């Protein structure tokens, strides 16, 4: 379960920023808030999984874990593919708004947000901890509002 969490954090914190082309600069205050949230959430998730969460023998073959893991995996794949589509919308030097096409963007306007929300609800189901559910709900409210804003 921790590998799921760490793989996403590595993608979002290390790989994704290196793949982004030039864009709008992120305000320093926004960066600091995001960093603090990620550090606190990472600590909270790691601490709850290593110290407080207990799982019965055979948990890895339990339908909740398998369904949650598949939700996490599918969500992460949607998220990464959607990020790829968004990064390649404009050719170098192009400006202006473009509507993304392909992948889950054919079904939902905020496919990247949808993928990440699915990812964290899958993680919450696989972990079955209050901390993972709290993170999934925070993700839903934060990214859901961003998705709505982007859709408009």
Residue 32 has pLDDT above 90, yes or no: no
Count the Cβ atoms, other than its own, within 10 Å of residue 20.
Answer: 10
Supply the pLDDT for residue 135.
Answer: 92
Burial degree of 86 (CB within 10 A; 0-12, 13-18, 19+): middle
pTM for the full predicted model: 0.80
- Tens of pLDDT along 82-114? 989 988 888 877 777 788 999 999 999 999 999
């Amino acid at each position: 379960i921790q590998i799921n969490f760490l793989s996403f954090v590595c993608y979002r914190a290390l790989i994704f920023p290196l793949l982004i082309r030039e864009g709008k600069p992120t305000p320093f205050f926004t960066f600091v808030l995001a960093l603090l949230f990620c550090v606190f959430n990472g600590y909270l998730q790691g601490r709850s999984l290593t110290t407080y969460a207990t799982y019965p023998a055979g948990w890895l073959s339990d339908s909740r874990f398998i369904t949650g893991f598949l939700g996490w995996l599918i969500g992460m794949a949607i998220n990464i593919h959607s990020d790829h589509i968004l990064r390649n919308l404009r050719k170098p030097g192009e400006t202006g708004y473009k509507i993304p096409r392909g992948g889950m963007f054919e079904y939902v306007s905020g496919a990247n947000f949808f993928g990440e929300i699915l990812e964290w609800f899958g993680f919450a189901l696989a972990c079955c901890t209050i901390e993972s559910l709290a993170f999934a709900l925070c993700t839903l409210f934060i990214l859901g509002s961003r998705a709505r804003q982007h859709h408009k």
